[in-house]
Structure 1
Amino acid sequence: MSPFLAYEDKGDKRDTDVSSRVPLVLVHGHPFDRTMWAPQLTAFSTDRRVIAPDLRGYGSSPVTPGTVPLARHAQDIEELLDFLGVDSFVLAGLSMGGQIAMECYDRFGDRVRGLVLADTFPDPETPEGRRGRRAMADRLLAEGMRGYADEVLEKMAAPYADPEVKAHVHRMMTATAPEGAAASLRGRAERPDYRPLLTRVTVPALVVVGADDTYTPVADAEAMHAALPDSVLHVVAGAAHMPNLERAEEFNEVLGKFLTEVDSRS
C-alpha cells in the first residue's frame, strides 16, 4: 500500500556509512512544503538517510478540508516511517513542524534518538490566538494565499535575506492549497500544552532560532532550552523565522555537530 504523504527519501540505504548513521526526519512548517529543507536534504543525504514529507494539505500530499489537528499530522508521519521501515531517527521540525515533532515525541518518543526544535514554541494557544487562527483560515479560503504571502514574507525570511531565499519562501506559500492551510490553522488553534512534555524528553535536543525571529523570539527558544533536560541552544544571527534557508551553512554546521553527537550515543 502506498503512503498517504508525498515525501523525499534520500541517502543510499545500501551504503554501510549511511546505514550506520541515525536517519534524519525533517518536518516543515506552515504554509510550506518539503522543499523548505532543500539545503539540509543536499547536505546530509551524502552520509545518512534523510526523509522529508509533505504534510497533509501541503505540497504534493492530499488535502483534507475542515480541521487537521497536530495529532493527525503526527500519525501521518508515524505511518510513513512505518511504511519506510525506519524504526529510530532524529526528528527535526521548524515552527508548526516543531510542534508536530513535539506531538510525535509524545506519541512515539521511544523511536526518537534526538529532537531538533527550530523557531517554534510549546505553549498552548490563547483564546485570542484561537480566534486569530480561525479568522485567518476563513480569510485564506475566501481570498487565497497570495495576499497573506505578500504580507508575511519579510517576517518569515528577514527583509535583508537573500532575494532567492525570499522568492523560494514566497513560492512555497502561494503554491499551498488554501484548504490545506486553513485545516491546519484550525487544528493548530486547538493544540495542547507541550511544556510539561519537554521536561520529560530523555534524548539530546537541539534548539535553534533566528536572532530576528518575531514569530518565535529568542526568549521562546531560551525557555525551551531551560525546560529540556539535555539540550543545546543556538541563535542564528542574521536570520528571522527560517534560519535553515536564510543561513543554511551555519544551520547545517550546528545540525551536523548534533547529528554526530547522536550517532556517537547510538
Structure 2
Amino acid sequence: MHPRPPCRSTHSFPTAGSRLVYDLWTGPGRPVLLVHALLFDRTQWWPLAADLAATCTVVAPDLPGHGETPMPAGLSPSQVAGDLARLVDGLGLRRAPVVVGHATSAPLAVAFADRFAVHGMLVADEPAGVVEHGPDAVVAASGLDLVPEQFRSFAEPRRDPNLVAAYRSWLDRPTSRRPVPHTGGPSGDLSRPRFTPLSDTEGLAARIQYLL
C-alpha cells in the first residue's frame, strides 16, 4: 500500500510591513517553490502540488497583491525574491529549492535563481517578449484559454488594471531565455503559452521531478 500524500496547510509569513500567505505540503525530499502567474494566485498549483507532494515538500505562495497576500510598497523581482528566500529559509528545510515560475512570473524565478542558492530553476509558458499592459493581455500571455474545463476553478484571474500597473516592470522585461531540461515526450515544449500547470499537470510534474 502506498502512503497517502501530505495534506495541504495554509500559513502566513511576515515580511517587511506585510506578509506572504502560502500553502505547504510537507513531504519527503527537496523543497519545490511554485510561483504563480501574475493576476492568478496559489490555487493554480493545487492539482500539480498534489502530484508532487509524495516526493518533495511543496511551497506555493500568493504573490503580493494576489490571493490573500496584501500589496506592499516594494514589488521589484529582487525584493519579492528576497521575501520568498526568507520564507523558504524560515521553514528550516535545509536544502536548496527547485524554483518553478509560471508565465509572467518568470522574472521572479530568474531573480531568485540569480541571488540565492537553488538546486534547479524551471519556467513554464514564459512570454516570448514584452507583455502589453492590459489585464486581458496579461491573462492571455499565460494561455488560460487552454485550461481544461475541469480545472478552470483553479485559474480565475483578477483582471485589475491597478495590479497590472504595479507589476509593470515585470511585464517590460525581455524573455530570460533560460534553458529548460528536456525529458522527451509530447509535453516537451514548455515555451508555448498554454497554462501548463493545469493543461499538462503530469508532464510538468515529471520535469520538476527530473530536477530533484
> Structures share a fold, TM > 0.5?
yes
Indicate the structure (1 or 2) with the bigger Cα radius of gyration.
1
SS in 2 for 1:78: helix
Superposition deviation, residue 51 in structure 1: 0.5
Q: Which runs of structure 2 are paired with 1:40-119 in the superposition (5 Å)? A: 40-64=48-72, 68-87=75-94, 88-108=96-116, 111-119=117-125
Q: Does 1:5 align with 2:20?
A: yes
> Quick one: distance in 1 between partners of 2:41 and 2:60?
9
Say what the alpha-carbon RMSD is for the aligned residues. Answer: 3.3
Instruction: Point out where structure 1 has 5 or more consecutive residues left out of the alignment.
Output: 13-17, 141-147, 196-222
Superposition deviation, residue 47 in structure 1: 2.5
The number of residues matched between the two structures is 192
1:117-149 CA-partner distances (Å, limit 9, x unpaired) = 1111586x5xxx6xx42xx3xxx6xxxxxxx39
Structure 2 vs 1, CA of residues 152 and 189 (structure 1 numbering), >3 Å: closer, same or farther?
closer
Q: Residue 28 of structure 1 aligns with which residue? A: 36
Superposition deviation, residue 113 in structure 1: 0.5
> Quick one: distance in 2 between partners of 1:8 and 1:93?
16
> Quick one: distance in 1 between partners of 2:54 and 2:87?
22
SS in 1 for 2:119: strand
More helix, by proportion:
1
Q: Which letter maps to 1:75?
A: G
Q: Which letter maps to 1:245?
A: L
Superposition deviation, residue 52 in structure 1: 0.7
Q: Residue 215 of structure 1 aligns with which residue? A: none
Superposition deviation, residue 72 in structure 1: 2.2
Superposition deviation, residue 79 in structure 1: 2.1
Superposition deviation, residue 46 in structure 1: 1.8
> Quick one: distance in 2 between partners of 1:162 and 1:189?
26
Superposition deviation, residue 100 in structure 1: 0.7
> Quick one: distance in 1 between partners of 2:150 and 2:189?
22
Q: 4+ runs of 1 displaced by more than 4 Å?
A: 151-155
> Quick one: distance in 2 between partners of 1:190 and 1:253?
31
Q: Which runs of structure 2 are paired with 1:153-168 in the superposition (5 Å)? A: 156-158=143-145, 161-168=147-154
Q: Residue 198 of structure 1 aligns with which residue? A: none
* TM-score when normalising by structure 2: 0.74
* TM-score when normalising by structure 1: 0.61
Structure 2 vs 1, CA of residues 152 and 74 (structure 1 numbering), >3 Å: closer, same or farther?
closer
